[in-house]
A and B are shown apart, each in its own frame.
Chain A
């Protein structure tokens, strides 16, 4: 049977996409050092897991989806996913392998639990997906891992509530663990932490709230799931609503998890960065 071995969260700020190819040089740069230093332990853990599949919970920022057809929850069911020009200069990176058979298993399984996903046989993945993959698989060495993109709307309100996302994550977790093939699976939840790009409140960061989230995501995700979207936007900033992606990831893990590592840094670009590595406890 397929087994979820753990989950990772990381911010996916576009500036990181530009910095990743120069990571070794930037490790001595005081701006980047506190950020990149956090990833050593995460990569060590991930490489020891040697996962076959990464399910990546992320949000599209207007590369694949537009407002003409904007799904709340979408999933890739393709053999390959490609990054593309996002319009403002992030370097594009090599394609990702998919696992459409597992995608359809997840689609069918969560549908039986009343989660109706938009299924995508063609899907471009943007920095919400690619930056974390580049960070965790240094040098874009992700060729032997298959990926399943799960895209959640954070563009247009109403966004799905934290509680709904947590439940979707739980359904995805049950789906994966009922898959008959012996696969090791990790789940990534990308985005966050507090940030706001637009409006007179641009630049807002809430360290206290972020640190509370990093604590709660480990042992008390229900506390995060209980937050309303209004309070999330208020506490984490307009784009800090991406916490719902972390929460979806957490839902897919076991009730009890072991925290392997976490890192928090203010800030890269306009965003407080957070990294959490959680291992499933059988």
Chain B
């Protein structure tokens, strides 16, 4: 797990997207940014391997995309705002992503949010 390099104690479970992450994740984020365009989303769905290759994803990034593994994408330098455009292709909401990252079902995750009201 990578932790905050902001000044202060690390914040558990929090990935700070700083320069180091931005450099590490550039190819992955660039691909996800391309999904603003419907034509690019279609191209990805048609041939995922070719599309990932075009952007030069690392093996780690390629695997995380293959698995739709959000924490894996974050560890590979992904930024959640761009990743949301990737997961949006599969109609996954931020609540689906929250559930996946916290090891809860979606209903459990929604209940957890509500419990903080």
Contact = CB atoms under 8 A, between A and B. Distances in A.
Contacts of A88: 84-85, 87-89, 91
A269 B116 CA distance: 13
Interface in A177-219: 196-207
Contact of B13 (A62, A157, A200, A230): A200
B113 A270 contact: yes
Nearest to B6: A230
Give the interface residue-count category, chain A.
Answer: 35 or more
Interface in B1-33: 1, 4, 6-8, 11-19, 22, 26, 29-30, 32-33
B101 interface: yes
A27 interface: no
Interface in B97-113: 97-98, 101-102, 109, 112-113
Given A156-B79, A199-B71, A230-B4, A66 B101 contact: no
Interface stretch (A4-12, A94-102, A231-239): A231-239
Given A61-B81, A86-B36, A202 B18 contact: no
A18 to B, nearest CB: 10
A197 B36 contact: no
A266 B116 contact: yes
Given A266-B117, A269-B95, A200 B12 contact: yes
Nearest to A232: B6
Interface of A is mostly: loop
A123 B11 CA distance: 34
A197 B17 CA distance: 13
Contacts of A199: 13-15, 71, 74, 101
Interface in B71-91: 71, 74, 79-85, 87-89, 91
Interface of B: 1, 4, 6-8, 11-19, 22, 26, 29-30, 32-33, 35-38, 41, 70-71, 74, 79-85, 87-89, 91, 93-95, 97-98, 101-102, 109, 112-114, 116-117
Given A86-B36, A198-B15, A239-B80, 13 more contacts: A84-B36, A85-B36, A155-B17, A157-B16, A200-B102, A201-B12, A228-B6, A228-B7, A228-B8, A233-B4, A267-B113, A270-B95, A270-B98
23 contacts: A62-B81, A62-B82, A68-B30, A88-B89, A155-B79, A156-B17, A156-B79, A157-B6, A157-B19, A196-B14, A197-B84, A197-B98, A198-B74, A199-B15, A203-B102, A205-B117, A230-B6, A233-B14, A234-B11, A238-B14, A238-B15, A266-B117, A269-B93
